[in-house]
Amino acid sequence: MSELKTEHTEVRRTPERGNYDREVINEILDEGIVAHVGLVSRERPVVIPMVYGRDGDTLYLHGSPASRLLRDGRKGAQLCVTVTLLDGLVLARSPLHHSANFRSVVVMGEASLVEDQADKSRILDLITEHVVPGRMTEVRPNTDMELKSTSVISLPIDEASAKIRTGPPVDDDEDYALPNWAGVIPLGISVGEPVPDPRLTEGIETPSHVTDWTR
């Protein structure tokens, strides 16, 4: 059993859906765009949507030092980062067997502040590239001032689990005879036509990392 499975990350509710394989976890993290980051603030839970990046066995978040997350994360706060990919709606013959096909990852651990400017620069590029691969070839690099005014947090992917559901509904035996439609509505991310900035300099063509963006 992988070391990623701990008392905190073990999938207890439907253990057959739990997965502690680092490759599976990384694949889900790399496909996701938005993570829901949980922390405890004044003894209450707070969940914030954030973009993120991954490098090897470390997850990275960034933001203004003013944000609540990074104010608390600075002190080595415990975080729970959850990434969910919704793959489909599972329609069963009884209401409670309705479900969703999904792939989710939970990473738990202690946040650290990344202080080194070169590291911060590399990680911020990595987060941008995670969301839009190829983007860093197009934009200007961050300035020293920008790096100083941005906080970067790292979270080791040491305690983690994936949870995955695929396939058709699972109904009670006696319900399969019911005259109800059952099956799956597959879901994914739709990508619209890129909308150029109204202030775009004339003559700039839409680059392929934009026209070909997909997930």
**How many Cβ atoms are within 10 Å of 180's Cβ, its own excluded?**
12
The residue within the footprint of its own copies, chosen from 30, 141, 148, 166 (CB under 8 A), is 141
Tell me the site size for its own copies, rule CB under 8 A: 95
198 binds its own copies, rule: CB under 8 A: yes
Q: Of 26, 8, 178, 2, which Cα lies nearest the Cα of 95? A: 178
Which of positions 26-85 make contact with its own copies (CB under 8 A)?
A: 33-34, 36-40, 42-49, 51, 63-64, 66-68, 78-82, 84
Smallest gap from residue 61 Cβ to its own copies (A) = 13
CA distance 49 to 82: 10
The residue within the footprint of its own copies, chosen from 29, 52, 88, 154 (CB under 8 A), is 88
Residue with smaller CB distance to its own copies, 49 or 56: 49
CA distance 107 to 158: 8
Q: Cα separations (Å) of 17 from 14, 21, 76, 109?
A: 6, 12, 31, 22
**Segment interacting with its own copies, rule: CB under 8 A, options 15-23, 53-61, 94-102, 112-120:** 94-102
Q: Cα separations (Å) of 81 from 112, 146, 192?
A: 14, 25, 28
The residue within the footprint of its own copies, chosen from 91, 156, 158, 165 (CB under 8 A), is 91
The residue within the footprint of its own copies, chosen from 1, 23, 75, 96 (CB under 8 A), is 96
CA distance 214 to 209: 9
